[in-house]
Structure formats: structure tokens, C-alpha cells
Amino acid sequence: MTMPGTAELARLRHPVRRLIGVGVCLGGLGALGTLVPFIGLAELGRILLAGGPVDSLGIVAVVAAVILGLILSWVLTGAALWVTHIADHRLQATLRRALVRKLGRVPLGWYSDKTSGLIRKAVQGDLKDLHHLVAHHDVDLAAAIVLPIGGLAYVIWLDWRLGLLAVATLPVYLIAYAWMMRGFADKMTELDTTFARVNAAIVEFVQGIAVVKAFGRVGKAHEGYRQAVTAFSDRYTAWVRPLLRLEALTSMAVSAPVILLVSLSGGAWFISRGWVAPIDVLAEALVAVVLPQTLLTLTQGLTAHRKAVAAAGRILDLLDAQDLPVADRPRRPEGGTVSFDHVSFGYAADRPVLRDVTLTCRPGTVTALVGPSGAGKSTLAKLVPRFHDVTAGSLRVGGVDVREIAPDVLYRHVGFVLQDVQLLHGTVADNIRLGRPDASFDAVVAAARAARIHDRVMALPRQYDSVLDEDAVFSGGEAQRISIARALLADTPVLILDEATAHADPDSEARVQEALSTVARGRTVLVIAHRLATITAVDQIVVVDDGRVSEVGTHDHLVRAGGLYARLWKEATGEAEPWGREPPAGSARRAAAGFQGAAEVMR
């Protein structure tokens, strides 16, 4: 009967199983070599205590055998570890490549279902757990099994009663250890899950620290991390504390003093009965003292094995994640028209988020999606770059269903600028080139100028060669403009914008909106609008309510209609009438100017 999770480990280690097998064989032979000194001591005692003339040749032969045995043991054990480390390097490389490929093939929406802490644990911590299992565990385990078997075989060869005496104290420890290991795999899985929450809490706190500090909520935000750490500590302590007490008592059964006491006491009785010779008792005592060392290796190996089982399960869950479906015969889109045709979508079959949405966005126009929080506007926009696939109806870009477009072609056709900008650790130029790696330096500079970020980059120590987080640190608004420059350089016919100025200060907001007015020209632009003041001049406003399109029209038309949009506008501004002729002052005026300018240019 195989241990739970053994099949998963076998699946992961399959590519290097032959190398691991060679390492196990070499490790087992090397372990047998460590028995030679103990047997040699016993044989030397037998020669010296035999009486009569000393057998010099016999002594030399025993010493030579001991030296040769030690050399062979070191060489074979070293070779075993060398082979298994090669296996580990190959497996690590294979799994890392597979994980990178998988992370590149899953739908973009998959990442919103996984926290950064969980993914980080799978691709870093879990691979580290597999390293010990492949590079060390099997060799150590082979030695821990072969050494006691070989030693007991030798002692039993001397006398079977000595064999029983050598293992007399082991049952006490083994019974206690078996009791302590009850439910170990489930406990480790539970602790790993709890620790993953700690990682996630750290990531979430660090990523949101700027906003948290701005609103003076550091203590409150830190509470999530504190709760995660406390939960892990309490759970671990409650499990380990009673086990440590029991182990402290039972480990005495396999301590050297207790083993020697039992061996010498029992051996003396055997000698008095005439069953064995004194030198045989010496040999049994030497072997018996070695056995607990191998037992410790076995118990540590079981712990490493169970940790690796949990790690293998998480890695396989990641590798088994559903890929984004790719059509057998992909088609290429023509133009930038985006059409939703009776589209429905739900993250679960029984919980629809969007229902029967029909909508067309044409090149050279700006379409804004508005609605109450949770209405489904962000979900609707993210269907275009296939964060998820529709569950009913069809979504076409350039006249082709997005499911029939190869993902790399789709991402060259549809770009998006989101609220939370992700800049990579690399040069400023590399970050701008992310969507078009082969772009020339002049094209990068042109995109940066259009995004109103060129002057800021030129003020950096190494300008476009400055490395982020080393000699380049950008504010939220500046990072947003880097993202816009990236979108400009990618030059996609369709652009999705998720309120790019949500966290910007008024000055940065004005610059971001100027950049957006540039990036929007001539493209099909779909805007997820959270502040209505920024989209009053767009070509069409689509009001999403409870997953359905409830209203479509211009700002003036929708305000006069007196529906949901009019109520949202009144709540946002305190005004019941459109302000087309008298826009609000301050940042709202600057925010509106960007898309108004873009819309006027398109017309």
C-alpha cells in the first residue's frame, strides 16, 4: 500500500527516476562500507584475545580492510550525492520551465483567483522542498535502511539472540513515534495553507502600503498580517508542544547510555549462560549504538517526504490548471470593432455576473462603462482580452470571435491600462518595451514623450537605462504614465482603460489624462469609469446594472432620461443637470479634459 501522495511524487520525479536509482544503489553500497570499522574492531579483539602468538598478518589484513572499506564508503557516498544533485538540477530546470510555460498559458483572470503568496510558495518554497527529497533524501534513506540491515545481519550471524538484544529498545520508540505521526500529512497541509496566508498577507500589505499610509491606516492594515502570523503560531504550538514532551521521554530508549546498558547487561547474562563469547557482545554493542543514528535519519526522512508530498500536490495543482483554450485553426482579426452579441458570463454556473449583453464599440470612438459597484462593468471589459471566456453568446474583435484568435495575436490587437500598474525589475526602456520588445530606442522615446513621462525619465541618473527600485522610483501617477507609454508603443487597435487616475494627485492626474487623450486617438477605446466627471464627452456611455446593460447614450441624453445614470450623476456631483457648458473646477475639470480631447479628435 503506497503512502498518500506517493503517486504525485513519482509523477514529478519521473524524468530523473533512473539517475535517482543509480544514486540510491551507490548510497546503499557506501553505507555498507561504514560497517567495516565496527566489524574490524570486533575481529581485532578476537585476534588479540585468542591467546598464543599474535597473528600479525591477520591484524594487517583487518586494518587494511578497514581502511579500504572507509575509502570505498566515502567514494561511493560522494558519487551517490553527485548523481542525485545532477538529478535535482535537471528536475528543477524542468519544473521551472514547465511552471513558467503554465503561468504564460493560463487565462489572465486565473491570477485574480490566486494570491501572490500561494503562487510564490509553489514556485519557490515547494521546489526547495523537492530539492532535499531528490538530492539528499533518497541517498540518506538508502543508507538508513541498508546500514541497520547489514549490521543486524552480521550480529545475527554471530548469534540470533544478540540480534534481538540489539533492537530490544527500538519498539518503545517506534510505537511512540507512530502515535506522534498520526495525521501528520493533514497537519502539514494545514500548516502550509496557514503559512501561505502569512505570505499573502505580507504581499497584500506591502503592495498597498502607499495607499494605507496616505489614509493613516497602517495599524489597521497591519492587523491582517498579525492575525495570519498568530493563527500560524497558535496552530503550530498546539500541535507540537505535546509531541515534544513525549519525544523527550521516548528518545531516551534509543540513547547511547540506555542501549549500552541493555546490551552489556543482556550480554553479560548471555556470557554467563555460555551462549556467546565476550567479543561477540562487544560487536553487538557497537552495532546497536549505530542503529539510533539511522533511525533518526529515517524519521527526518519521513518528515521531508511528507513535506514533499504536500509540495508536490501544490505544484501539480499549478501545472494542472486549465490552459486558455486555443483554436485549432486561429483566425486573424481585421480592424478594431468590438461586438458583444448576447453575452452572458459567470464565474460559477449558478451565479451569472453578466446577462445577455449586446453592445458594439467602433474604431475612433470612446465607450465608457459605468454603473454601481459590483454591477459587472470591469468583468465585461476584461472579457475582451480574454481574462475569462463568455459562457453564452459571442464576443468578436475585428469581426472574429476572440476564442478563435491566437492569444499572442489577441494581445497584439487588444491592449489594456489598469489601475494597479505592474512595473518589472529592469530598465525603464525595458518596461516600456514590454509589449514590443523589438522596438527601437527612438520609438521608446517617442512613446514616453506622448505619455508625458520623457522629462521625468531624463532626470534619472541613467535616464532610460535606469533600473527600477535601484536608481528609479516612480510615483503612482508616473508609473501610470510608464504604463501608458507601454500601451502607446504596443500600438494596439483596441484599448481597455480601467480608471487610470484613481490614485493620482491632481497634477499627475492632469498629465495622465493628457497622455490618455493621445493614446486613445484612432483606436477603439473601452473605459471602465469610476468617476463620471472624466467621461462626459465620450461617444457613448453604457450603464451596467446587475449584469445587464440598462442604458446606452451620451452624457446629455442619459442625464435628461432621468434613469440610473442620472441618479449616479446626481450622487457624484450633487447636480441634476448636465454641466457641459460649466464643467466643475479643479481636478474634475482636468480629469474631464483628457477624454473630451480624445473624443473631439476622433470626431
Please write the tens of the pLDDT for every residue from 113-149.
555 566 766 676 777 777 777 787 778 878 878 888 8
* 542 has pLDDT over 70: yes
In percent, how much of the chain has pLDDT > 70?
72
Pairing of strands 338-348, 392-397: antiparallel
* 388 has pLDDT over 60: yes
* One domain, residues 69 and 190: yes
Residue 243's H or E segment, with its range, is: helix 218-250
In the prediction, which pLDDT does 493 show? 87
In the prediction, which pLDDT does 54 show? 64
d(CA 144, CA 562): 81
Query: What is the average per-residue pLDDT within 362-376?
Result: 85
The whole domain housing 347 covers: 338-602
* 210 has pLDDT over 60: no
Query: What is the average per-residue pLDDT within 312-338?
Result: 81
Pairing of strands 524-528, 494-498: parallel
**Is 135 domain-assigned?**
yes
* One domain, residues 381 and 486: yes
**Is 325 domain-assigned?**
no
* One domain, residues 304 and 379: no
CA of 124: how far to CAs of 46, 107, 314, 586, in Å?
55, 22, 11, 48
Quickly tell me which residue has 467602433 as its cell: 362
pTM: 0.61
In the prediction, which pLDDT does 82 show? 92
d(CA 188, CA 313): 12
The residue ranking higher by pLDDT, 543 or 490, is 543
Where does the pLDDT of residue 513 fall: very low under 50, low under 70, confident under 90, or very high at 90 and above? low
d(CA 385, CA 416): 8
Out of 182-191, 456-465, 501-510, which region has the weakest mean confidence (pLDDT)? 501-510
Residue partners of 283: CB distance under 8 A and separation at least 6: 38, 39, 41, 42, 154, 155, 158, 162
* One domain, residues 64 and 110: yes
* CA trace torsion 434, 437, 440, 445 (10° rounding): 0
Where does the pLDDT of residue 50 fall: very low under 50, low under 70, confident under 90, or very high at 90 and above? low
Tally of domains within the chain: 2
* One domain, residues 385 and 292: no
* 536 has pLDDT over 50: yes
* 590 has pLDDT over 50: no
* One domain, residues 314 and 374: no
d(CA 125, CA 196): 10
In the prediction, which pLDDT does 308 show? 75
**Is 541 domain-assigned?**
yes
* 345 has pLDDT over 50: yes
* 314 has pLDDT over 70: yes
Out of 35-49, 142-156, 167-181, 336-350, which region has the weakest mean confidence (pLDDT)? 167-181
Query: What is the average per-residue pLDDT within 352-363?
Result: 87
Mean pLDDT, the chain, whole residue set: 76
Local structure of 356: helix, strand or coil: strand
* One domain, residues 399 and 520: yes
* One domain, residues 303 and 362: no
In the prediction, which pLDDT does 280 show? 81
